[in-house]
Chains A and B, each alone.
Chain A
Amino acid sequence: MSCWRWIWLDLLSVVKDRAIALTLFGGISFYAILYPSPYLNNVPTSQALVVVDLDHSSLSRQMIRYADANPGISVTGYAATMDEARQWLVDGRASSMLVIPEDFRHKLLRGKQVTLGYGGDASYFLIYSAVVQGLTQAGLDIGHNIQLRGMLAQGMNPTKAEQSLDAISLNAVPVFNQGLGYPAYVIPGLFLLILHQTLLIGTGILGAGQWQRSGYWHQLSPLGIVLCRIGTFTLLYCFFSAFYIGWCYYLYGVGLLASLGQVLLLMLPFLLATACCGVAFSTLFHRRDLPTQVLLLSSMPILFVSGFVWPLTLIPQPLVWLSQLVPAVPGIMGMLQLNQMGADWSQVQPRWLQLWGLLLFYLPLAWWGVKRRLQQLPI
């Protein structure tokens, strides 16, 4: 049988197998919508703030208005005491509190320092950081106003007063994901992982069902089977990858800095290595419902070990070494460097070579596994 005919039959059996078709076609299109859906609003806004205003002055009310004007914060209520405000947080009616001390205005006018209290529910870091950032900004603005007023009262030139307040300007700008949005952060890595996992599941289910029976798949030599199956799945995943990387990345506003040629060049060894790993992996299974289970349980560890959520320098080295055997890990990092952070090809090359290396590593394993399974086959 010719290779092309084999690959054609293989493609047909993928499409006809309802469990595989469900995972591949259903899973990939469903996850493309489902996974980003919680993050579509990009950044946390309008977090509920409860205010403990012990001062009740014009200045304290101004502070509250400043806080409320921040997009991250929305003032939802007032509490008389700190304990009451704490109860708001515990009940979930608010996620943060602002405490304005007594004599806030009085002390400021007398030229004494006052301390504002910001509290946020740090069970949710994103909420906490949004709220504290907003309150800090509001507090700085209030302080700034007071200073400026004082200087003007002393007869200082307004321009000079402004200048002496900001002797230096700090120009802090996020790069690569300029809006600090959640989809642009999660999607590039996550979608590659989905491609990786579904590919492994597809080859796994197909292999687990086939190796113990005879059929068209046995009409080639073991090496031929491995190579042709890699061909089948790479061909199929060219389309899925094009959908994810070409269309979904664009749809969800992920940073796209690499050229088409470079992305294709990186995806080629990624798909080949993953498909080869998948064939090797499929020879371990006798039951069709097992590959999904193993890969499901491994998804979260692979995602977190890939280094874009938790920095690689903080992950224990043995875990990092172990993870380098999973094609998704160099794949995700290479894609982030190349496409999201705009690195040169020379900087991505180590990962690219690693992917080719993984292909060479899994190829003999896949060949050996398939050969062993063929020999076990009752004739």
Chain B
Amino acid sequence: MWQLLRREFHALQRDGWQLALISYVPLLGFLFLWWLFSAALPRQLPIAIVDEDHSSVSRELGRYLDANSVAEPIAYTDIQQAVAAMRSGEVFAVVRLPYALKRDLLTGHKPTIDLRYNGQFLLVGKLLSSQLQLTLADGLKQISRVKQLAAGVNPAQVEVRLTPVAAQSTALFNRNMNYVGFLVPPMLIALWQLVAMLSYANSLNRELREQSLADCYRLGLSRVLLAKFLFYTPLMLLHGVLLLVMMYGYIGLPIAGSLLWLIPAQLIMLIAVWLWVQAMFFVIADSARVISMCTGLFAPAFAFMGVTFPTSNMPLLAQWWRALIPSSHYIETHIAIVNHGLGLTTVLQQSTSYLGFLLLLLPAWYFAWRYGRALQPERQASGALL
């Protein structure tokens, strides 16, 4: 076995890309994605404000918008310019304070404030919509407060009159709605899964490229595969642990459970990835196409995880496809431990959902057996030569 491991090590030394793949490529990818989202909380998103009233009320509302950390109001004099800026994506929302806003308020008419937000940039648009509505509602409340006091309402009663039912909404498990905590872990896991898949596929493909598959059969296929497993699992697990330590140790994202329990979960996910790659390899047996097929399966992993768009709202077919990807099983354990603070029992419970991946052993075993038979005459021939 030791010799087989050394064989893997020598093969690794000869292959520059494979070396890069198990060393700096994942690190670069992790750092790139984290740096990209490092702002964590959206701030000072440009919005257009068109003040057609120029009254104390409209200026007051403008100041309220300015005070919101999410929005950065830019004054436009003309609605057409604001629309053009919106169409080119320079601003993400337009607030129009209409002409005679103050006069209508004072005379008991009902003015309308128009708010348009960009739904094409969904994340930004939804955030701005709720933030701007809250801010404007707050600003208008001050105006109503004055109105109530002027009507002779007892100051202690004003607040109740304005909002009899107040609300306290709490973002559980991610208190400040941090985008790094929300998006970066699943993204990095998807990337990690790709790296793991590629490194294992390359290791198998090398046997094809260097036409050493017959050697593998001679050395005992299961032992060679076991050696690959023993060689690449710790390497990739190391990357996985590094990723966790970077996110929850160095960056300091909040974690409710223990990081330790994520390691067995990662190990199980890696095994599922290996099973996929192995099955693909033996069924297809062509290096470029093995990579293409595995890519087809694993590339959309992030979309199917159900973190951005909830799993329960996916169509049934998408849910089935989702179950084929190991990372979508892992991410549930990950969230259960990191956010909900559950322990080892959850890992064990959820690991049963991976059992289906064992079925992949069947085609792998069948096709491996067929190759073995096809290679047999060669072996006998070479044996005769020896």
Contacts and interface: CB of A to CB of B under 8 A. Distances in A.
**Most B-side CB within 10 Å, residue of A30, A34, A48, A347:** A34
Interface string B104-145: 010010111111111111111110011011001100100110
A172 B129 contact: yes
B307 interface: yes
A122 B89 CA distance: 28
B9 interface: no
A377 interface: no
Contacts of B288: 19, 205, 288-289, 292
Contacts of A255: 120
B364 interface: no
B105 A180 contact: no
A47 to B, nearest CB: 7
Interface stretch (B171-179, B354-362, B372-380): B171-179
Nearest to B342: A90
Given A113-B164, A124-B310, A168-B112, A89 B120 contact: no
A136 B169 contact: yes
B13 interface: no
B318 A314 contact: no
A114 B164 contact: yes
A129 B130 contact: yes
Interface in A91-141: 92, 95, 108, 111-129, 132-133, 135-136, 139-140
A37 B289 contact: no
Nearest to B21: A293
Contacts of B383: none
**Quick one: which of B121, B140, B191, B205 has the most chain A CB within 10 A?**
B121
Contacts of A90: 336, 340-342
Nearest to A27: B296
Interface in A31-89: 31, 34-35, 37-41, 43-48, 86, 89
A177 B123 CA distance: 12
A297 B159 contact: no
A176 B121 CA distance: 9
A169 interface: yes
B150 interface: no
Nearest to B290: A289
Contacts of B39: 314-315
Most B CB within 10 A of own CB, among A174, A184, A287, A319: A174
A122 B168 contact: no
B49 interface: no
B386 interface: no
A176 B112 contact: no
Tier of interface size on chain B: 35 or more
B129 A38 contact: no
Interface string B276-316: 00000000001111111101100110111011111011110
Contacts of A47: 310, 312
B45 interface: yes
Contact of A147 (B129, B161, B290, B335): B161
A342 interface: yes
Given A38-B303, A340-B120, A115 B110 contact: no
Contacts of B385: none
Interface string B149-170: 0000000010111011111111
B173 A122 contact: yes
B88 A347 contact: yes
A48, A108, A176: most-surrounded residue (chain B CB, <10 A): A176
B317 interface: yes
A2 B295 CA distance: 37
Contacts of B366: none
Nearest to B88: A347
B17 interface: yes
B369 interface: no
- Max chain B CB contacts within 10 Å: which of A43, A178, A314, A333? A314
A296 B26 CA distance: 12
Given A132-B169, A311-B42, A311-B45, A89 B202 contact: no
A125 B105 CA distance: 37
7 contacts: A89-B340, A114-B164, A115-B167, A123-B335, A167-B144, A309-B123, A348-B88
Contacts of B159: 113
Interface stretch (A223-231, A233-241, A300-308): A300-308
Contacts of B35: 316, 319
